[in-house]
Amino acid sequence: MTQEAGRRPNIYDVATAAGVSKSLVSLVLRGAPGVSPARRAAVEEAIERLNYRPSRAAATLAGNTSRTIGVVLDDYRNLWFVGLLAGLHEQLAPLGFRVAVADPSFNAHLDRTPVDGLISLRVDGIVIATEPTEDMFPGLDVPTVVAGNRDLAVPGADVVANDDVLGGRLAVEHLAGLGHRAIGHITGGGGAARLRAQGYEAEMRGRGLRTLMAGGHGQTTESDGYQAALHLLDENPTLTAIFAANDTMALGAAGAARDRGRRIPEDLSLIGYDNSPLASANLLRLTTIDGKNGEVGAGAAKALLDRMKDPAADVRTELVTPELVVRASTAPA
């Protein structure tokens, strides 16, 4: 049997390579007596040759668990995580699981990734809700799910995400339906923002409209939204609407509009993404695309529980359908 390229070796691969049964490999891993020196040596040689790392998924099935799920975030200030964590908690808490959250600063003084830090806590599974990096991969020896569209695929990990391309199209569809033609888009780094921009571009071109895009400093913060919106407004005086990659950038865009003497929505319609608590605040009353972050979190929890029950199951991707939420920040052109 040939191991599939890019797939982490499992206990069956070790058994095949050593010419023994899975049960005997398990005995060797547990250090159990009664295994002949020759067979033990064959198993140990196969483990070393395949670079096999025993998965704690097997221990999970045996009931030896910490009842803790690790979640890797990139920035606690990102409001996208509020709904995600609520959805995770809704599914996991009734089953007795706790959630441990880590960001890139976790154990950074030890030159370790957040994944390494969570693994050291003996978590039973991990939800990656940030842009994964290849240095995380060696530490992923527990069931893993990626929440949100990401640029880098994680080997063996399921993906549960909002359909960001469709969401970008919905934003343009709403603004165009109000009569806007000069519609700008402010965006930032990351897979979700990239896909939302793809949706914006596809819908604009499909309607025969010129795309007008700008970024800030490469992220999706309020400051990035402010700088990107200033650029769009200064370079395109006839602009009548802006679609922001998320609600936080939309807040920055509102500040830029104020500083350029543009009233929202009388002079400039503004639409965000995520339907975060910020969007419903009376100060902004932001029209936004609801990415159903709670559903993404709940779906990620379910996918993780399924992966814990069957670590060898086929990897799958689930997309949650977004919807438009109209408030007071958009109006006819």
- How does strand 287-290 pair with strand 323-325? antiparallel
- Return phi, psi of residue 314, to 5°: -60, 140
User: Is 325 inside any structural domain?
Assistant: no
What is the share, in percent, of the chain residues with pLDDT greater than 90? 61
Going by C-beta distance under 8 Å and a sequence separation of 6 or more, which residues neighbour residue 112?
none
Q: Tell me the average pLDDT across 69-93.
A: 90
**Range(s) of the domain holding residue 157:** 64-161+294-319
Tokens found for residue 62: 């045996």
Q: Are residues 282 and 314 in the same domain?
A: no
Query: What kind and span of H or E run contains 94?
Result: none
pLDDT band at 184 (very low <50, low <70, confident <90, very high): very high
Report the alpha-carbon distance of residue 306 to residue 302 in Å, rounded: 6
User: Is 2 inside any structural domain?
Assistant: no
pLDDT band at 3 (very low <50, low <70, confident <90, very high): low
CA angle 132, 222, 258 (to 5 degrees): 160
Q: Do residues 277 and 141 lie in contact, with contact meaning Cβ atoms separated by under 8 Å? A: no
| pLDDT value of residue 329 | 98
| pLDDT value of residue 302 | 97
Amino acid at 311: P
The domain total for the chain is: 3
Nearest to 72 by CA among 113, 114, 112: 114
Mean pLDDT of the chain, nearest integer:
89
Going by C-beta distance under 8 Å and a sequence separation of 6 or more, which residues neighbour residue 160?
145, 146, 147, 296, 299, 300, 303, 317, 318, 320
Report the alpha-carbon distance of residue 146 to residue 131 in Å, rounded: 9
Q: Tell me the average pLDDT across 76-90.
A: 89
Q: Are residues 186 and 287 in the same domain?
A: yes
Q: Are residues 21 and 122 in the same domain?
A: no
Q: Are residues 280 and 184 in the same domain?
A: yes
- Bond preceding residue 277 cis, omega within 30 of 0: no
Which of 18-27, 28-37, 59-68, 241-250 is most confident?
241-250
- How does strand 183-187 pair with strand 241-244? parallel
Q: Are residues 215 and 311 in the same domain?
A: no
pLDDT band at 5 (very low <50, low <70, confident <90, very high): low
Q: Do residues 321 and 166 lie in contact, with contact meaning Cβ atoms separated by under 8 Å? A: yes
Q: Are residues 118 and 231 in the same domain?
A: no
Q: Are residues 49 and 69 in the same domain?
A: no
Neighbours of 317 (CB within 10 A): 12
Going by C-beta distance under 8 Å and a sequence separation of 6 or more, which residues neighbour residue 306?
158, 313
Q: Do residues 186 and 215 lie in contact, with contact meaning Cβ atoms separated by under 8 Å? A: yes
Q: Are residues 228 and 299 in the same domain?
A: no
